Amino acid sequence: MKLTVLGATGSIGVSTLDVVARHPERFEVVALTGHSQVEVLAAQCRQFRPAYAVVGSATAAQQLAGLLGDSGVRTEVLHGADALVAVAGLPEVDVVMAAIVGAAGLPPTLAAARAGKRILLANKEALVMAGAVFMSEARRAGALLLPIDSEHNAIFQSMPYDYSGDMARGGIRRILLTASGGPFRTTPLDALTQITPEQAVAHPNWVMGRKISVDSATMMNKGLEVIEAHWLFNAPAEKIEVVIHPQSVIHSLVDYEDGSVLAQLGNPDMRTPIAHALAWPQRIESGVAPLDLFAVGQLNFERPDPARFPCLDLAYRALRAEGNAAAVLNAANEVAVAAFLERRLPFLGIAGLIAATLDAVPAAALPDLAAVLEADRQGRTTATELLARTGGTGR
């Protein structure tokens, strides 16, 4: 099976290559991409010998080519957005791991869908920003979408094998998305005003990048997953419920009409869903330690507190609004999180800036990718202007 890894130097990409390295007889890496972590990408190219490597800039490409030339690796080095799209749709590639964080991952992931690839979808934005367009292209080209988010992968594993998008026909009452609650689940509300970036990126269970760690702390990550679940499983907002589960052992559940609730359990390690999707419908070794239920001891569940996690309600609002709302939400969140990490916005200002942006951008339909990208541009521009004017309070 021949593989392109979009976002190879990020946490998902690194985990993917860890699984791939355990099965050299089964997988061949054709292309790796990384934006600016040139030395990491060079080491990956030396190990896996892909035909192509893609970086973000000409400068990074020159640096990578030099490192590989010194090692005798004959990987062709490319750069830029067009090169990402090209390696996502290579005719010799069977599987595309879509793990580029943010809106930058949308065009190459859409290219993989149009090329009818098996897509291991770790890029939330493809569905959050462009759900209708993306799903339409995937259906038209016969692409196979296998979710990599641990929650959506758990739902996929707990669904009927022949699930076709009809919850009633599948006897499904609702989808239960679990959330750890992040690092501030029990922090006094008045202390949230003093949260620092260092505290926000220190997730209690998962090893993730800085942006997604902040999203977990605000539970915007879970809100984006609600929108993603809507598109993956054709589930309306009222049929998707978020449950805080601090242990991160149950990764999500499906509640059936007959009273059964099916769940997928495992240690919090992204190699499990990655290995599942790489080998589906078979199972392969992932390197993840077996789950020790005796060590876990107990499993707890809580309802999300709207006062503590306003970003979750904002995501439901965007999902129900349809059109450009989710794309605007995602764009505003990226601006807000970047500003928080740069200490230009307080932690509680993240939700305020997103809400103000949703209020300010007029509703619009998203018939194609151009409209999606325009909604993303409007969201970013508006959020940036509001940040400069109000500091993210929306006042």
Q: What residue numbers bound the domain in which 221 lies?
A: 155-269+278-296
State whether 142 and 238 are in the same domain: no
- Looking at the fold, whether 65 and 160 belong to one and the same domain comes out as no
User: Are 171 and 292 members of one domain?
Assistant: yes
Name the nearest CA neighbour of 19 among 272, 281, 289, 207. Answer: 272
**Interatomic CA distance for residues 237 and 234, integer angstroms:** 10
pLDDT of residue 212 exceeding 90, the answer is: no
Q: Given pLDDT bands bounded at 50, 70 and 90, which one contains residue 246?
A: very high
pLDDT-above-70 percentage for the chain: 97
Domain membership flag for residue 316 = no
**What pLDDT, on the 0 to 100 scale, is given for residue 202?**
82
CB-based contact 225:124 (threshold 8 Å): yes
Whether the per-residue pLDDT at 393 is higher than 60: the answer is no
- Is the pLDDT at 204 greater than 90, yes or no? no
Are 290 and 375 within one domain?
no
**Pair of tokens at residue 114:** 């149009």
Q: Could you tell me the two tokens for 311?
A: 């970003």
Are 103 and 179 in the same domain?
A: no
Whether residue 311 lies inside any domain: the answer is: no
Residue 241: how many CA atoms within 13 Å on its side-chain side? 13
**Cβ neighbours around 158 below 10 Å, total:** 22
* Cα–Cα distance for residue pair 171/258, rounded to 1 Å: 8
Residue 76: helix, strand or coil by DSSP?
Answer: strand
- Residue 312 counted as domain residue: no
Residues 128 and 180 in one domain: no
Cβ density class 219-233: b for 16+ within 10 Å, e for less: bbbbbbbbbbbbbbb
Q: What is the pLDDT of residues 129-148, one digit of tens each?
A: 999 999 999 999 999 999 99
Report yes or no: 45 and 32 within 8 Å, Cβ to Cβ. yes
Domain match, 244 and 285 both: yes
Is residue 382 predicted with pLDDT exceeding 70?
A: yes
Query: Once rounded to an integer, what is the mean pLDDT over residues 14-27?
Result: 98
Q: What is the DSSP letter of 302?
A: B
Q: How many residues does the chain have?
A: 395
Looking at residue 211, its pLDDT comes to: 85
Instruction: Supply the pLDDT for residue 207.
Output: 62
Highest mean pLDDT among 69-73, 205-209, 266-270, 381-385: 381-385
**pLDDT confidence of residue 71:** 86
**How much of the chain, in percent, has pLDDT values that exceed 90?**
88
pLDDT of residue 271: 97
Q: Are residues 254 and 166 in the same domain?
A: yes
- The per-residue pLDDT of the chain, averaged, comes to 94
pLDDT tens-digit map of 80-104: 999 999 999 999 999 999 999 877 8
Average pLDDT over residues 334-363: 96
Domain count, the chain: 3
Centre a 10 Å sphere on the Cβ of residue 173 and count the other Cβ atoms it contains: 16
Tokens of 387: 């940040």
Interval 319-344 mean pLDDT? 96
> Using CA atoms, how far apart are residues 359 and 374, in angstroms rounded to an integer?
17
Tell me if 184 is assigned to some domain. yes
User: Are 183 and 233 contained in the same domain?
Assistant: yes
pLDDT at 206: 63
Strands (E), 165-228: 172-179
205 and 176, same domain (yes or no): yes
In a domain, 48, yes or no: yes
Asked whether residue 83 falls in the same domain as residue 177, the answer is no
- Burial bucket for residue 303 (CB in 10 Å: 0-12, 13-18, 19+): exposed
Q: How far is CA 320 from CA 92, 204, 230, 285, 325, in A?
A: 40, 31, 10, 40, 9
The reply to whether 101 falls in a domain is yes
C-alpha to C-alpha distance for 299 and 169, rounded to whole angstroms = 31
Residue 287 pLDDT more than 60?
yes
Q: Is pLDDT at 52 greater than 70 in this prediction?
A: yes
Summarize the confidence of residues 52-66 as an average pLDDT: 97
> Which DSSP category does 49 fall into?
-
Q: Could you tell me which of 208, 18, 258, 17 has the C-alpha nearest to residue 8? A: 17
In a domain, 310, yes or no: no
**Is residue 47 located within the same domain as residue 86?**
yes
Whether residue 394 is predicted with pLDDT greater than 60 in this model: the reply is: no
